[in-house]
Amino acid sequence: MSIKIKTAEEIQKMRVAGQLAANVLEMIAPYVKAGVTTGYLNQLMHDYMINEQNTIPATLNYHGFPASSCISINQVVCHGIPGDKKKLKNGDIVNIDVTVIKDGYHGDTSRMFEIGSVKPFAHRLTRVAHECLWLGIQQVKPEATLYQVALAIQTHAENNHFSVVKEYCGHGIGADFHEAPQVLHYAAPELKDIILKPGMVFTIEPMINLGKADVKLLADNWTVVTKDRKLSAQWEHTLAVTETGYEIFTLRAGEQPVLP
């Protein structure tokens, strides 16, 4: 229920787990191109986690989820199930979301990939979603509230005539994959009561839609799509509140803030 404050020892373990999660996305990047199946990408990431990292893929069997990553193409908002029949093609936008467990602690991160050359509106959606993540992150510091994080994200999305998904959110993270608090990405009034303190660790992972915000769960009970079947984009980091601001655990090599 209540938000756990992590000890210095826990923070160090989460730093390691976060780095390993980021490394999975770095490893997979060169393979993400037209013609490959998401099942193949999932297999590469699974093998890397198990054999190279000695991490546990947290999504595998999580509430019955059948894969070691979520891969969500175009109108898929989140929780796309990788498959050997799902082939990437020129013009697709795709999110790959990985969560590893190392030494009992979770690191959770996702990013978008553009396959070949994508339409300008698809590129703009992907970029604005990325800016939303970073604008949200930049609000994080002691005594700020999650309302400020959400407001920054929603404002930027809507200024660009995009919409924010309401049904899925970021989350506290630690020894458990999903802990309190729920990190909503739209300015819900109850977020004003969630005051950030050093040692809190959570994800920010806005899902931004090209059209309407509404989503639909497919019959497989996992895949979430936009109701209007227009594109959706998402980026995710795991971060801690520090004495002066934030520390991102899942930064990739050379990654810089992406701001409007």
- Which residue ranges make up the site for Co ion (CB under 5 A)? 97, 108, 110, 203, 236
- Establish how many alpha carbons lie within 13 A of residue 47's alpha carbon, considering only the half-sphere containing its beta carbon: 8
Q: How open is the CA angle 88-93-97, to the nearest 5 degrees? A: 90
- Judged by beta carbon, residue 17 or residue 160, the one nearer Co ion is 17
| Smallest separation, CB 176 to Co ion (Å) | 12
Q: Least distance from C-beta 28 to ligand MF3, angstroms? A: 15
**Which lies closer to Co ion via its Cβ, residue 46 or residue 160?**
46
CA dist 6 → 15, 140, 236, 247 (Å): 12, 16, 20, 13
Is 16 in contact with 102 (CB distance < 8 Å)? yes
Helix (H) or strand (E) holding 50: none
Show the binding pattern over residues 216-255: x = contacts ligand MF3 (CB under 6 A), - = does not: --------------------x-------------------
CA–CA dist 156, 222 (Å, integer): 28
Cα dihedral 58/63/68/70 (nearest 10): -110
> Total residues at the site for ligand MF3 (CB under 6 A)?
12
Nearer CB in complex with ligand MF3: 63/85: 63
Q: How far is the CB of 171 from Co ion (least distance, A)?
A: 6
What is d(CA 130, CA 233) in angstroms, rounded to the nearest whole number? 8
Q: How far is the CB of 100 from Co ion (least distance, A)?
A: 11
Pick what 68 binds: Co ion, ligand MF3, none; C-beta below 5 to 8 Å, kind-dependent.
none
45-64: contacts with ligand MF3 (CB under 6 A):
59, 62-63
In the complex with ligand MF3, the residue whose CB is nearer, 6 or 118, is 6
- Pick between residue 160 and residue 181 the one whose CB is nearest to Co ion: 181
Does 97 sit near ligand MF3 (CB under 6 A)?
Answer: yes
**Closer to ligand MF3 at the Cβ: 118 or 207?**
207
Instruction: Retrieve residue 233's tokens.
Output: 């984009």
Q: Is 6 in the site for ligand MF3 (CB under 6 A)?
A: no
User: Which phi and psi (to 5°) does residue 65 adopt?
Assistant: -65, 135
Site for ligand MF3 (CB under 6 A): which residue of 17, 45, 49, 70? Answer: 70
Name which of Co ion, ligand MF3, none residue 63 binds, using a CB cut-off of 5 to 8 Å depending on partner kind.
ligand MF3
CB count in 10 Å sphere of residue 180:
15
- Joined together, the tokens standing for residue 19 give 């780095």
Helix orientation angle between 38-47 and 8-28, rounded to the nearest 10 degrees: 140
- Site residues, ligand MF3 (CB under 6 A): 59, 62-63, 65, 70, 79, 97, 99, 108, 203, 205, 236
